[in-house]
Structure 1
Amino acid sequence: MRIKRTTSIEAPDINLIPLIDVLLVIVIFLVVSTTFMQPSQLEVDLPGTQSASEDTTPPEALRIRVGRDGNYALGSQSVLTETQLRTELSKVLLTKPAGEERRAVVEADAAATHQSVVLVMDMLASLGVARVSIATAGGKAP
């Protein structure tokens, strides 16, 4: 008895559906794991210091930027005037628990007026902020 073997000339095909599924899962993972930052609209050129120090400000501290033109920014909010800054600061500070220590970091432009920086520090003191720091660009001497 003779058995005939049939040979097929079909080329093997690659199934692309599992490959597409894996690629979609990778894309979804990358999108979910990426953090998005909202940079402030107020550009600030911090003054330099002689000694290089690392930024040791806690993440829960308020960040207030003072621009060279006298505008202010609170966190990632856009440019604010003096009265808008006072209202926004009081809103933010009212949401904090009473027992929690209130901290703030003032990031003033090197060309900002002394009056605008003192005004911000006065606002913070009147609203009960316990610790106010002034940010500098460490290691970049003027």
Structure 2
Amino acid sequence: MNFRQRRRREEPEINFIPLIDVLLVILIFLMATTTYSRFAELKINLPSADAEKVAEQPQAINIAVSATGQYSVNNEVVAFDTPENFAAQLRQVAGDQADPLIIINADAQATHQSVVNLMEAARLAGYAKLTFATQTQDK
């Protein structure tokens, strides 16, 4: 009697389907939980715009700011010491106008703070209609 049986050796088989399923689940999990942040570079070249000119601007006060920080209201050079004093000058120039349009012509090299000072003075004077003048780009 031969108690030993010959066992057939079966070739081992590697099943990749469960492995692929697990890898896809991990990939989906990583894609869903990853936060993507975009690093933006600031390349600013202001001011310029391409818009149609308004036919008429009634009750407008033109304020210009030079690159050196000098201010002019309706083509008259004025001194800016505090926003409160400049607000009083704006009220004087506006006269009896209730809410005049204030056009800010700031040089491209003017500091941001000088424009913010103008906006603060207009707020203190009670004027809410502010706009910025730009130049059109040459094509």
TM-score range, shorter chain: 0.5 to 0.7
Segments of 5+ residues of structure 1 without an aligned counterpart are 1-45
1:111 maps to what in 2?
109
Change in CA separation of 1:135 and 1:56 when aligned onto 2, cut-off 3 Å: farther
8 Å CA contact 1:102, 1:128 repeated in 2: no
Name the CA distance, whole Å, in 2 between partners of 1:57 and 1:135.
14
Which ranges of 4 or more aligned residues in structure 1 deviate by more than 2 Å?
A: 83-88, 138-141
- Which residue is equivalent to 2:134? 136
Which residue number in structure 1 is paired with residue 123 of structure 2? 125
Q: Residue 91 of structure 1: CA displacement?
A: 1.5
Q: Secondary structure at the match of 2:78?
A: coil
Q: TM-score, normalised by structure 2?
A: 0.56
Higher Rg = 2
Instruction: Name the counterpart of 1:41.
Output: none
SS in 1 for 2:135: coil
Letter of the 2:48 counterpart: G
Aligned partner letter, 1:90 = R
CA distance in 2, matches of 1:124, 1:90: 9
Counterparts in 2 of 1:1-142, with a 5 A limit?
Answer: 47-49=47-49, 51-55=50-54, 58-77=57-76, 79-83=77-81, 85-93=86-94, 95-97=95-97, 100-140=98-138
RMSD after superposition = 2.4
Q: CA deviation at 1:101?
A: 2.8
- CA distance in structure 2 between the partners assigned to 1:115 and 1:57 by the alignment: 30
Identity of aligned residues (%): 30
Q: 1:128 to 1:86 in 2, by over 3 A?
A: closer
Taking a change above 3 Å as real, the CA distance of residues 109 and 57 of structure 1, as seen in their structure-2 partners, is farther
Residue segments in structure 2 that go unaligned for 5+ positions in a row: 1-45
Indicate the structure whose relative CO is greater, using CA pairs within 8 Å and at least 6 residues apart: 1
Question: TM-score normalized by structure 1?
Answer: 0.55
Write the distance in 2 (CA, Å) between the matches of 1:140 and 1:116: 27
Contact kept, 8 Å, 1:52 with 1:139, in 2: the verdict is no
